[in-house]
Chains A and B, each alone.
Chain A
Amino acid sequence: GENVEQHPSTLSVQEGDSAVIKCTYSDSASNYFPWYKQELGKRPQLIIDIRSNVGEKKDQRIAVTLNKTAKHFSLHITETQPEDSAVYFCAASMYDMRFGAGTRLTVKP
Chain B
Amino acid sequence: GAVVSQHPSWVICKSGTSVKIECRSLDFQATTMFWYRQFPKQSLMLMATSNEGSKATYEQGVEKDKFLINHASLTLSTLTVTSAHPEDSSFYICSAPGAGTTYEQYFGPGTRLTVT
Residues of A within 8 A of B (CB): 1, 31-32, 34, 41-44, 46, 49, 51, 89, 93, 95-102
Contacts and interface: CB of A to CB of B under 8 A. Distances in A.
B112 A34 contact: no
Chain B interface size, as a band, is 20 to 34
A98 B95 CA distance: 12
A80 to B, nearest CB: 22
Nearest to A98: B46
Contacts of A89: 43-44
Contacts of A101: 42-43
B44 A99 contact: yes
A44 B49 contact: no
Interface string B90-108: 0101010000001111011
B50 to A, nearest CB: 11
Contacts of A32: 102-104
Contacts of A34: 104-105
Interface in B69-116: 91, 93, 95, 102-105, 107-110, 112
A43 B93 CA distance: 7
B67 interface: no
Nearest to B103: A32
A41 B91 contact: yes
A103 B29 CA distance: 33
Contacts of A43: 93, 107-110
Contact of B103 (A44, A93, A98): A93
Contacts of B46: 96-98
A89 B93 CA distance: 15
28 contacts: A1-B60, A32-B102, A32-B103, A32-B104, A34-B104, A34-B105, A41-B91, A41-B112, A42-B109, A42-B110, A43-B93, A44-B44, A44-B93, A44-B107, A89-B44, A93-B105, A96-B34, A97-B34, A97-B46, A97-B95, A97-B105, A98-B46, A99-B43, A99-B44, A101-B42, A101-B43, A102-B42, A102-B43
